[in-house]
Structure 1
Amino acid sequence: MSVRLLGAVLLALLAAPALADGPLVYGLTPRPIAPDTYVFEGAIAHFTRENGGNILNAAFIVTADGVVVLQTGPSRRYGEEMRAAIRRVTDRPVRKVYVSNLHPDYFLGSQAFADATVAALPGTIAGIQEEGSGIAENMYRLIGDWMRGTQAVAPTEPVYGSTVAMGGHRLRLIPLDGHTAADLAVLDETTGVLFAGGVVFCDRTPTTPHADVARWLAALDALEGLEFRLLVPNHGRIRADRACIAQTRDWLTWLDGRLRAAVEAGLDMTEALDLPIPERFHTLAVLREEYRRSVAHLWPRIEQAALPRVD
């Protein structure tokens, strides 16, 4: 488990509420957004015992050759409910699952898809192999019994930049990085739906436990240049424009610049935690919490780069 991700989990634990009484059911309802295309919309929030970690926009596409799934959710329970919801839409089998990165809500439901091919970028596979068990263990601490029976399962098929034809749909696989070391976006060229993975957040403050801001900004530029009709961020609202690419870029640019300026001004990290945030960002969900987590994630590298080397 990386120090940065462990720090994020520990900070989140401090704010995790108790689980409300009642059955542990996600109540997943697929929302149609384009021909053959459905999304399970997650809460615009952080992991809590109340939401069971359901903060992700997982999706599936029904093709003539079977179902394609994008992300498997935060737990085995989620993955199983997702399979049941897909069966209510179609009796076609799930053929392929794409996992966009190593963050827990993207892959911890993969046990429910053991009969399908689960694919990801090589960097994501390596990251899950290295950190997956620790990520699952910390999710148990965050959301409790929602995780019962969940084990980290790494994707088995590496994918690269290519276009895959499946059952009347052409899926362009787009390798990116910056949000993590490996971030997969998928553009369905048939419907014009762009599944942006974790690279784009919409009305929700971006998370940064594995972030490289400069590379993330380059990934946003790459997505900006694509032709698409609808953008599905993995966190936040679905939109038919590029506004959330711009919103994510604005936040990352401000965050990086603000922390660099703070280091140059001689502030320490505890002082940076309470710096004011511009009003234009006040509509973002989980704002102050994610800002404080980002300070913990990004500050050491920025501070180290700013310090003169003494030999």
Structure 2
Amino acid sequence: MTRRLLAACAMLLGTAVLAREAPVPQQVADGVFVLEGAREHFSRANGGDIANTGFIATPAGAVVIDTGASLRYGQAQRAAVRATTGRDAVQVYITHAHPDHFLGSQAYADVPVQALAATAARIARDGDRLAQNLYLLVGPAMDGTAVRVPSALATPAVAPGDASQAPAAVSFGGRRLQLIALHGHSAADLAVFDDATGSLFAGDLVFFERAPTLPDADLPAWLAALDRLAQLPVRALVPGHGPVVRGTQAIAQTRDYLLWVRDTLRDAAARGLDMHEAMRLRAPERLRRLAVLEAEWQRTVMQRYPAVEQGIWPAAR
């Protein structure tokens, strides 16, 4: 599908043309496609299109994983699904309740959209506020966007440190997908694993070459979730942000970053550093290439350091 056609899809409601063109689907395995987001923060230039989304072609229709940050994006994504696979979407799964992953769901009004129960509850409670925040950050790209609350999957969440919970299995036209319920990046994080190709859509449990975001993080649970994902026979891993990886090195990089954050915040508190001093601490050389590292570190310190100082953030204990 051409960039020109995708750009046209992004203007279906007459919104302004954005500096960033709509992403083009990349085929990463047989029937598995990814639309890679910008490794940036939200801006008018990128229209909020910073998360990876994707779809899996099946004989029954396409299974879509995450719908992006706006109605405009969701419509362009759905057009790309039809053009790429020759079929429409038959099912949508939302990995978690951060706005760059679910606000395009309005474009799938006639398609089932599902998420873990805690994700659906968070979107119902906070979705309008999250959408309004994005309007302020990215402007016209959000025109016409409204929240669609997904229906809740019955799949139970895995307790921190417990890797024994069997994933739910679903089949579309004979193509079997595992729905793996975890948490750690947020209160509920859904991963989707395609048995046929070994492709894992990890949502924001995994970042690659981009510093992870931690506003809702439970680090012990997140680290346990990474251990669970590392047990899968992964051949192609789609992180929530960053390029597709052949193997599990993105899991290792995410774990490395989280452990650095945990240990650095603990050490800063033990040394009696104030927040501004903690913000000036530098990451080790191996992590300095990560996109938006400095901004994410400062954000994490502002959001988490007071709790670390008081010993009330789980990662601080």
TM-score (norm 2): 0.87
Residue of structure 2 aligned with 1:51, choices 33, 46, 54: 46
Matches within 5 A, 1:126-275: 126-160=121-155, 161-275=167-281
Q: Cα offset for 1:159?
A: 4.0
Q: 1:199-248, CA deviations, whole angstroms, 9 ceiling, x for partnerless residues?
A: 00001100011111111111111111111211110100111111111111
Give the distance between the partners of 2:276 and 2:201, measured in 1 at CA: 37
Name the amino acid aligned to 2:241.
H
Residue of structure 1 aligned with 2:107, choices 88, 107, 112: 112
Q: Contact 1:120–1:159 (CA<8 Å) still a contact in 2?
A: no
Q: 1:34-60, CA deviations, whole angstroms, 9 ceiling, x for partnerless residues?
A: 111111111111111111111111101
Name the amino acid aligned to 1:229.
R
Structure 1 vs Structure 2: percent identity of aligned residues? Answer: 48
Q: Contact 2:238–2:244 (CA<8 Å) still a contact in 1?
A: yes
Give the distance between the partners of 1:119 and 1:211, measured in 2 at CA: 22
Correspondence for 1:37: 32
Give the distance between the partners of 1:238 and 1:28, measured in 2 at CA: 14
Moved over 4 A (4+): none
Secondary structure of the corresponding residue to residue 196 of structure 1: strand
Structure 2 residue 73 is matched with structure 1 residue 89: no
Name the amino acid aligned to 1:231.
L
Q: Contact 1:37–1:61 (CA<8 Å) still a contact in 2?
A: yes
Give the distance between the partners of 1:182 and 1:101, measured in 2 at CA: 6
Q: Contact 2:81–2:88 (CA<8 Å) still a contact in 1?
A: no
How many residues align? The count is 286
Correspondence for 1:16: none
> Aligned-residue CA RMSD in angstroms?
1.4
Correspondence for 2:305: 299
Q: Cα offset for 1:90?
A: 2.9
Q: Cα offset for 1:251?
A: 0.6
Name the amino acid aligned to 2:145.
T
Higher deviation after alignment, 54-63 or 153-162: 153-162
Q: Contact 2:22–2:73 (CA<8 Å) still a contact in 1?
A: no
Q: Cα offset for 1:31?
A: 1.1
Structure 2 residue 74 is matched with structure 1 residue 79: yes
Gaps of 5+ in 2: 1-15, 156-166
Q: Contact 1:263–1:306 (CA<8 Å) still a contact in 2?
A: no
Q: Cα offset for 1:275?
A: 1.4
Name the amino acid aligned to 2:28.
I
Give the distance between the partners of 2:312 and 2:236, measured in 1 at CA: 40
Name the amino acid aligned to 1:49.
R
